[in-house]
Structure 1
Amino acid sequence: MSNSFLEAALGLVAFFSAPLSPVAPVVPREEFASPAADSPLVAVIEAAVRAEAGFDSQALAKVLADDYVEVSPVGEVDHRDAVLRFYDPANRRPAPQVAVTEPLARVDGSNAVVIVRLSFSAPEAAPQRPPMLMRATYVLRQNASGWRIASAQYTPIRTAAK
């Protein structure tokens, strides 16, 4: 993984760290899929985010499909093996805190698309700055062992100066 997701996210934090306010409106929760329907899907995404933050490649492997592929915020395509190598515990470094919010889920049988808002905050020991916001689109597939993430696309949310 030449430019990792975390490196890209931290670089984007620096790039977008002028006084920030989201341009994209916050959509009320009522406009999304029902919480009961999207809860298992969001739980898988949150497990992946926790595994990435903790550099827990074993936990991450449990939620990624065997043919997982992602498009990073800078447009690079990374396959499952490269992602898991990057999140190996030996590579652990301070990671931003990430909040997963505003899920919008669409389910069609054993396939689902979930769009979430990711809010990256500086690690606790780092100087505080406004969070960097990103939309992530996940494609999930259900198999005998549950929902797995088949792909992800990360897109920075543009911000505007006040």
Structure 2
Amino acid sequence: MKPMPILLSVCLLACGSAPLRATDDRAATETQLLAATQAVLDAQVQFDQKALEALLAPGYLEISPLGDLDDRVEVIGFYAPEAKAKMLAGGMRPLSAKVDDARVRVFDDHAIVIALDTATLEVNDVTQQRSLRTLFHFRRIDGRWLLQTSQVTPLKPQSH
């Protein structure tokens, strides 16, 4: 057997598998980003300040559904035990939040996830769903995807 055809075959096989590896890497990255997105929503629903501290990047900024600009400290503060108690006393209890209709774009160490966030909550003993379209801007820091910026846009309730 001649060494040249073997070398050529190995090169062709290696080159042919590169796009497959890139596709696998992209899928794994998208899976990580969607999991990070859901983790942020879960931490908010559970008023879990420690989880939010671990998920939000230094310098995090949020554009709230009201158009307010809130920094990392303010956002984490919104999920203090006192805030949860006030919400519950007002007759509102968050139950869950779910990421749907997500679009993911990755740019090296930055990524954008635009998704439909549907929150299920109980308001005065009546279960309701409210939907928001949210842009999540993640940044990879020390190998972890952390939320750097988000913008939340409420959607009009659908009339039936």
What is the TM-score when the length of structure 2 is the normalising length? 0.72
Contact 1:101 1:117 in 2 (8 A): yes
What is the total number of aligned residue pairs between the two structures?
A: 128
C-alpha distance 62-79 of structure 1, shift in aligned 2 (>3 A): same
> How big is each residue's C-alpha offset from its partner over 1:39-98, in whole Å with a ceiling of 9 and x where there is no partner?
100111111111111111111110100100001111111100011112123432432421
SS in 2 for 1:101: strand
Indicate the structure with greater strand content: 2
Determine which structure has greater relative contact order: mean sequence separation of CA pairs < 8 Å that are 6+ residues apart, divided by chain length: 1
- Name the SS for the 2:94 alignment partner: coil
1:60 to 52, 63, 69: 52
Matching residue within 78, 86, 93 for 2:78: 86
Extract unaligned runs of 5+ from structure 2.
Answer: 1-25, 86-92
Cα RMSD for the two superposed structures: 2.0
Structure 1 pair 88/160, CA: closer, same or farther in 2 (3 Å)?
A: closer
Q: Return the structure number with greater helix share.
A: 2
* Alignment counterpart, residue 134 of structure 1, candidates 129, 132, 148: 132
Give, in whole Å, the separation in 2 of the partners of 1:35 and 1:144.
Answer: 20
Q: Which amino acid aligns with 1:148?
A: L
Residue 122 of structure 1 and its aligned partner are, at CA, apart by: 2.0
Matches within 5 A, 1:1-162: 36-93=28-85, 94-123=93-122, 126-129=125-128, 131-162=129-160
Equivalents in 2 of 1:88, 1:160: separation in Å?
32
Kept after mapping to 2: 8 A contact 1:97/1:123: no
- Counterpart CA distance in 2 for 1:160 and 1:50 is 24
TM-score (norm 1): 0.71
Q: Structure 1: state its 5+ residue gaps.
A: 1-33
Corresponding residue SS for 1:81: helix
> Could you tell me how far apart the structure 2 residues matched to 1:160 and 1:127 are?
17
Following superposition, the deviation at residue 158 of structure 1 comes to: 2.7
- Paired with 1:44 and 1:65, the residues of 2 have a C-alpha distance of 12
